[in-house]
Amino acid sequence: MIKTEKVLHLKSSRGRKVRVVREHYLREHVPCYSSLCQAQCANAEGKVLSGEVTHYVMPDAGVARDFMEILEFREIQGIVFTQTACQAVQHSRGRRQYNRLRSLLKDPRHHCILFANEFQEYSYCPREKGEPQDKWQTRCVYHAAVWYHDHLAGLKPVVMITEDQTAVAEYSSLNCGVYVLCTQEYLQTFWPELQAALELYCSIAQSLQEKGSEGTEREYTEHLPAEVLEAGIKSGRYIQGTLNVNKHRAQHEAFVRFEGSSNKSSELNSDVLVCGGKNRNRAVHGDMVAVELLPKGEWRGRTTALTEGQGEEKGDETQSQPMATGRVVGILQRNWRDYVVTFPPKEETQSQSRNSQRILATPWDQRIPKIRISTQQADKLQDHRVIVRLDSWDSTSLYPNGHSVRVLGRAGELETEVQTILIENCIHVPPFSEAQLGEMPVSSPESPWSVDPAEVITRRDLRQTHLVFSVDPRGCEDVDDTLSIRSLPPGPRGERLELGVHIADVTHFVKEGSLTDLEARARATTYYLADRRYDMLPAVLSADLCSLLGGVDRYAMSVMWDLDAQTLAVNKVWYGRTLIQSSYQLYYELAQALLNGEEAEVPELGTIMLNTAEWRGGRGPRTRQLRAQRDKGGALELEGVEVRAQLDEDRNITALVPRQPLEVHETVAECMIYANHWVARKIQESFPQQALLRHHPPPRQEFFNQLQDSARARGFTIDTRSNKALADSLDRAVDPRDPLVNRLLRVMATMAMSNALYFSTGACPVDQYYHYGLALDRYTHFTSPIRRYADMIVHRLLTAAIAMEKGAGPAKALASNKELEEMAQQINNKNRAAQHAQKVSTELFQCLYFRDKDPETDERCVADAVIYTIRANGMLVFIPQYGLKGAVYLKNREGQVVSERQDGGCDWQTGSLQRYLDHITTTTAAGTSTFNLFQHITVRISVQLSRCHSDTIRLEVVSNRPHQAPETQVQTSQPQGARGRSQLVQEVVRQAEEASQQAEEKRGRASKLSTEEREFRQSKCPNLYSLLEEVRELALLDLAAS
Ligand SMILES: [Zn+2]
């Protein structure tokens, strides 16, 4: 080993230049991490570059610093990052960018490695006196490239890429087999099909070029240096928190929410208000900032008047008392993500771009400021939605600078809008790569998958001994749960029963740390949008090998209880891997018929019928008892909704029919809850510090105010002190004349609840493990590993627990408490994003459906609505026919109020408005109109169009009487809600397809964009599950059913 000195010139956070001398050790052996290595490098630890590429590419420091986004393309393989380049990123781009590079290097889905060139004796070159840093860095990388090429005995050409033209001239012909190219030429030569990378390159280069031409006039106060901020936060002078912009007043109002308890000024117990752009000082929604409080005389109040679209927020304030108000003095961490923006129309760009190439584009998210983008494609991009990234926001610039990354398509088109929703929710669902699919077992009609005899002997074989079945809707493809039940020989304490829950053994096929596993972990869940879904796992698993279909052998993870037949007390529980063959997929109705002892006229069921006496006689009442046991503890039934799905021969859902709860569905749900609970117990007992559980914190009492007020209006008292009390009082709150009231109250109770969340057992005290909604002391998710990553983690924990019991150590070290807690947070975040994306996509379809209809003449725009909340200047209503919720305003900007005419119709007149607990009245010269809670009214639906943001639905009162449907619309046996909703989605999809077909015909060929978009779509059919979820609320309010 050779010791030498290395001189670094660093910039301190105050901006001073600092010279640092470091001891530097050189070694002869530094791993190359190439599979072509001829010199026995110690490559075993870490990723190794494949030899199956045409060349290796080595970016110099400048390229790594400025163009890392291009190197992030997974298609670009064989990247060797030098230590020199990595350090340049670390020093000039900060921690966040450096962490991004490090995770790239760790991620096996990216073919790149780190070569520690500066520790390698023969590739290191000391900096010469007077040599500029960038020249030296480029020289270092070139030397590294030469060494690397020689080290691999010239087996692979090495391409160094640089933005330095003199380096290209100087080095390109020095060594045979080592090429030096500028980035653009490299992309054009080696990746001509990767057009997106080249476009991104041009966009970044343009933005870098324009950076030099910044103005000098200061628009904002400079941010304070990091150490000043740090000291100020410690001393309590500044407050640290996350900036939250008010969506409805994005330019004027933002709040800083505290992080932790570092805040020492005890008088502060609320958020800090930040008014206006100057005080916000370039902080962007989501950034971690430091704020300084203004003198109390300058404190302001929160704006309180309700604006359109604000009606959905919880609680409304009536007063605007001055609150802590401050200004941003520094940014502790930028939390910028990818943003979707809309480019302005031509007229605007022409006036904007008179003296620059910069265009001001408007983000889809109203909380994000306009972004300046340097582009030469302003014409091409007008009225398009484009993904952009922010680069910088200097104090001399009114707006932040950014560059475009990818064009999504024309604003307003279905595919563009759906992709926008995904990007805005940070949902990345590219098609599964070939490498990922390569890990999957083969199963095709020619070579069907079959069980492995070696695997069979390690599993408990239930194929001959147990009658296993699933209870799924007709046509269901991904069956991940099945049940079994049988009597056991009587024990010393009497009759015994065995209940089994068998779940698809997904983790048998998806090994921890494999490419598929990493992808599933990153997605965390299957995403369900209004018209499609994006699976968490490749279809060969979710729709085939891990779908527990009837009549085929499948691997399963099972929980089996040995129960006392009378008391249902658990004698013994068995957990383990099994081999099953499901006998039948029972449809809900069929299963119910069997449960009721009715004859089912399905010949295939003949064989089962002989065996069902056992479970038919036993299971129904018994799971009812399981339920009763939980009820004693106070289990809440919130949204118990049953849906019958009708499918045609192509397995398309033609209708969803909400109906009275079927006992059999509850039975199945109860068995699954039971399994989740017992698995939670098992893994928590085995790994008290590192098991993944799911808890449901008790709700905050103030969220129940609305529920209690509404119930009181109908003479009911809702007791929310415990979930038992809540469940009991909800059960009592039944209006015999109107079953809707009870259902509505349950919806409100659900809305008041907090979300259930995953956590690691070591990160939370035991008394907080409780699941409020299910009234269980421990709970987890075990039963849906096909579509939830949490369940895969739990399956692995259960496998490890079983192994430990047998005395064997786990095959792989378990995640630590800290790692597991991080994973739990990641999954919680993704679930939130999934829910939000689903909600927004539903709203998108509603807007697309109504957009082209004339609200004045089209009778589909007039519908019946139910008032479910009274607000200060209007009310919130639900429209069962379209599953639509929204605000109806009774007072407009001109101060007019809605007034009822003699015939029941409504119009705007001068008058006043009075709000009461359970109703709201308007008074005009013509008289008084009253709108009661739970009343049916008639509304007109129209769409408020927006060019840059999402369109919104507007509702207006037509009459305060129920809507009379025209005679032609004959009431069918199908409830309107279900039919309206699925028809709505289908119609929008059909229109979008026709429109894109026409557009393609016009262009004469399929556009590049739409092929790209098509790849995004993994499945086109509406998925039953998503519709089930969606239909919940609508079924609750379905009138036709009652
Ligand atoms: Zn080597």
**489-512 pLDDT, tens per residue?**
888 888 888 888 999 999 999 999
Structure confidence at residue 610 (pLDDT): 36
Structure confidence at residue 29 (pLDDT): 84
Expressed in angstroms and rounded, the spacing between residue 120 Cα and the centre of ligand 1 is: 11
Give the confidence band of 751 by pLDDT, cuts at 50, 70, 90. confident
* Residue type at position 407: V
Helix H or strand E encompassing 391: strand 384-392
Expressed in angstroms and rounded, the spacing between residue 100 Cα and the centre of ligand 1 is: 26
Checking if the pLDDT of 579 tops 90, the result is yes
Report pTM. 0.77
What's the rounded Cα separation, in Å, for the pair 941 and 958? Answer: 10
Token output for 325: 């108000």
Report the number of secondary-structure helices (H) and strands (E) in the chain: 28, 40
What's the rounded Cα separation, in Å, for the pair 928 and 801? Answer: 69
Expressed in angstroms and rounded, the spacing between residue 91 Cα and the centre of ligand 1 is: 28
Expressed in angstroms and rounded, the spacing between residue 153 Cα and the centre of ligand 1 is: 10
- The total number of residues written for the chain in this structure: 1042
Rounded to an integer, the average pLDDT of 145-152 is: 94
What's the rounded Cα separation, in Å, for the pair 760 and 693? Answer: 6
Expressed in angstroms and rounded, the spacing between residue 30 Cα and the centre of ligand 1 is: 8
Q: C-alpha angle 536/537/539, rounded to 5°?
A: 125
Token output for 680: 């939670």
Average predicted confidence (pLDDT) for the chain:
80
Structure confidence at residue 596 (pLDDT): 60
Give the confidence band of 1006 by pLDDT, cuts at 50, 70, 90. very low
Expressed in angstroms and rounded, the spacing between residue 113 Cα and the centre of ligand 1 is: 13
Expressed in angstroms and rounded, the spacing between residue 32 Cα and the centre of ligand 1 is: 4
Are the CB atoms for 521 and 823 separated by under 8 Å? yes
Q: Per-residue pLDDT tens for 615-649?
A: 333 334 445 455 555 555 544 443 333 333 344 45
Strands of 326-333's sheet, edge to edge? 272-275, 253-258, 238-245, 288-293, 326-333
Expressed in angstroms and rounded, the spacing between residue 23 Cα and the centre of ligand 1 is: 25
Expressed in angstroms and rounded, the spacing between residue 716 Cα and the centre of ligand 1 is: 77
Rounded to an integer, the average pLDDT of 98-114 is: 90
Expressed in angstroms and rounded, the spacing between residue 288 Cα and the centre of ligand 1 is: 43
Concatenated DSSP letters of 858-924? -GGGEEEEEEEEEETTEEEEEETTTTEEEEEESB-TTSEEEEE-TTSBEEEEEEEEEE-SSEEEEEE
Are the CB atoms for 585 and 472 separated by under 8 Å? yes
Query: Which of 573-577, 659-663, 683-687, 749-753 is least confident?
Result: 659-663
The alpha carbon of residue 323 and the mean position of all alpha carbons in its chain are separated, in whole angstroms, by 34
Token output for 64: 């790594």
DSSP reduced 3-state for 989: helix
Helices (H), 599-688: 606-633, 663-686
Query: Which of 40-49, 716-725, 732-741, 871-880 is least confident?
Result: 732-741
Structure confidence at residue 553 (pLDDT): 93
Give the confidence band of 586 by pLDDT, cuts at 50, 70, 90. low
Checking if the pLDDT of 263 tops 80, the result is no
Checking if the pLDDT of 279 tops 90, the result is yes
Expressed in angstroms and rounded, the spacing between residue 6 Cα and the centre of ligand 1 is: 25
Expressed in angstroms and rounded, the spacing between residue 37 Cα and the centre of ligand 1 is: 4
Expressed in angstroms and rounded, the spacing between residue 142 Cα and the centre of ligand 1 is: 18
Pairing of strands 56-59, 158-162: parallel
Query: Which of 14-18, 328-332, 642-646 is least confident?
Result: 642-646
Q: Per-residue pLDDT tens for 295-307?
A: 988 888 876 554 4
Expressed in angstroms and rounded, the spacing between residue 34 Cα and the centre of ligand 1 is: 6
Expressed in angstroms and rounded, the spacing between residue 151 Cα and the centre of ligand 1 is: 6
Give the confidence band of 214 by pLDDT, cuts at 50, 70, 90. low
Q: Per-residue pLDDT tens for 918-962?
A: 889 999 888 888 998 888 899 999 998 888 888 989 999 998 888
Expressed in angstroms and rounded, the spacing between residue 148 Cα and the centre of ligand 1 is: 8
Q: Per-residue pLDDT tens for 380-395?
A: 888 899 999 998 898 8
User: What is the DSSP-derived secondary structure letter of residue 306?
Assistant: -
Q: Which residues contact 561 (CB under 8 A, 6 or more apart)?
A: 498, 499, 500, 570, 572, 573, 574, 674, 678
Expressed in angstroms and rounded, the spacing between residue 41 Cα and the centre of ligand 1 is: 4
Expressed in angstroms and rounded, the spacing between residue 145 Cα and the centre of ligand 1 is: 13
Strands of 158-162's sheet, edge to edge? 112-115, 79-82, 56-59, 158-162, 178-182
Q: Per-residue pLDDT tens for 868-906?
A: 888 888 888 888 777 778 889 998 877 789 888 877 788
DSSP reduced 3-state for 1019: strand
Q: Per-residue pLDDT tens for 823-836?
A: 999 999 999 999 89
Structure confidence at residue 762 (pLDDT): 95
